[in-house]
Chains A and B, each alone.
Chain A
Amino acid sequence: MPTAETEIETLANRDYRWGFISDIDADSAPAGLNEEIIRFISLKKTEPDWMLQWRLKAYKHWLTMKEPAWAMVKYAKIDYQATIYYSAPKAKMKSLAEVDPELLAVYDKLGVPVHEREALLGVEPSNVAVDAVFDSVSVATTFKKTLAEKGVIFCSFSEAVREHPELVRKYMGSVVPYSDNFFATLNSAVFTDGSFVFIPKGVKCPMELSTYFRINARNTGQFERTLIVAEEGASVSYLEGCTAPMRDENQLHAAVVELVALDNASIKYSTVQNWYPGDKEGRGGIYNFVTKRGACRGVNSKISWTQVETGSAITWKYPSCILQGDNSVGEFYSVALTNHQQQADTGTKMIHIGKNTRSTIVSKGISGGRGQNTYRGLVKIMKNATGSRNYTQCDSLLLGDKCGAHTVPYIEVHNTTSRAEHEASTSKIGEDQLFYCKTRGISLEDSISMIVSGFCKEVFRELPMEFAVEAQKLLGVSLEGSVG
């Protein structure tokens, strides 16, 4: 029977073990993953106990899991004990002069203003930038007011855990359960921050929501956790990411995004991502292993995923839709580019459960250099999902002769009144097409860029306009050195 003495002894020992916690102002946890670290993260974020318990449950489950190896991507074994799972945002460099000039050249090409670059790279803001940052804060404040008037909640995930616990507890983990897969489980244990969006009944969100307005978003991308809920009749368009290349000391990025659409609601989720892909030999690039899933719970609900992935050393993600509600619609539009030594195994899963459900998949894969690009898609039409339809188009474009494009489609139709269509094409940019462009005075690089943009048109059309323009520029920049 534990006596008071033994209890105190235990506590004292515990304090000793958790010695570093006494320095609550510590900016980061030491490397490694164990229960202490998780408690530290939760403490730093001043989370309620139910959140900590949720994390611990996930962590315990993670210990029983094995890292999957079925994807067509090769990477050096990740040492989970060598990673730091919490570090507060702070300036890492004193000035832009310390930054890789090649990276700065990309910012130049993309027209990124100086203060943006500083924020993106974790450089101490210069004095000139102070005003600009202040402007961003006031801009964000104005938007928050407009949203508040409509009852729209748009805040960081951490804030939502504190301010809107009932909503978070209701929906978190309902689309991607904590036990879903190795990386989602890891995320569930150590997630850092992300977005929380709640659109109440009947409200059409008056503006596009973007991660740009979450000022401190940039340094928390390691294990991002995002939850978007659209109640009956609500709709929202959300933009994630930006075209400017982002570096991070942390190699593994395992985000989880959950979307919930109730009756007659719709959610449009667009991503333009350009995580640092590593140098020309592929060293130092980011591994982007993401679990994104949308649940079309309601009747006539709709969820659209649009992504332009040009960065990361390795991209492994399948933004998916569970089409539960009758007549619900799922869409997936994707452009994935792999150049130099990049690898991508990406696609989607459309699970048809309700009647008369529809899904559309348009995947454009572009490979250059020694890039390896794989489309992996699942279209599963369950027995009771009568009268359902899927249309899939996956096109691959090969630039040069050392890259690869692979397609792995899975189609399962369990009733006789549904229809699934699948079209695929593989092409190269013809020498005659390039010659034609050059005879009109257009440079080789501009020609390739123009032809590739034409190839991606159907996907770019789905992006909100400003994103589409940026995405086009990004594609041009990412294609450099892709041929020969």
Chain B
Amino acid sequence: MIVAKQKPIAELKEMLRPYQKVLILGCGTCVKTCFAGGEDEAATLSVALRLAFGQEGKSIKTEELTVERQCEDAFIQEAAQAVTRNEAVLSLACGAGVQAMARRFGKAVLLPGVNTTFIGVLEKPGLFTEECSGCGDCELDTFGGICPVTRCSKRLMNGPCGGSKNGKCEVSPDIDCAWQLIIDRLTALGQLENLKRYIPAKDWRPSLAGGPRRLLREDHVI
């Protein structure tokens, strides 16, 4: 899932200041799961913004709507009328959702209500952790399902740096040493031999070169 964090109220206020009627558009998928932009968060933010502006004596009319996924045209079509009757849309979706909205509703003012952060998982209740960098060349089979690209602070591909202590990364004691996790897991799987394979320097071209990425499936093009 994509993990995001709601923008501070002060920043949202400045973005919304020019507008009297705002649609707060939630998304029912990733941002709902990480408590940044689902239906509940849209409703709460709506009241919070009215209170924030109310203190200045400014009245702002907010409307709330949440669609299943803002990154899919079939779902965001449902928001068409709500978009039209408001001056601006504060989208609580990830960056992909905000841009899908902007693509669909070319004349609408689209504002981002969250900061999109990473691809991750819910590690335990209340804690979301980054797991995947979208490098475009997955080698999780070698590393027992633990990604050194994302979870090693130094993105080392051929073993630990030697700086870890008690299984924690020297960058921060809150970070597990990814290589400790890899070694432990491969040992448990009986696949420690994997680490004898030399992994060459990461080829970042699948992710960082050639501009924004595209994936075309000709079999789905009519």
Are A and B associated in one complex? Answer: no
B residues contacting A by CB (< 8 A) are none
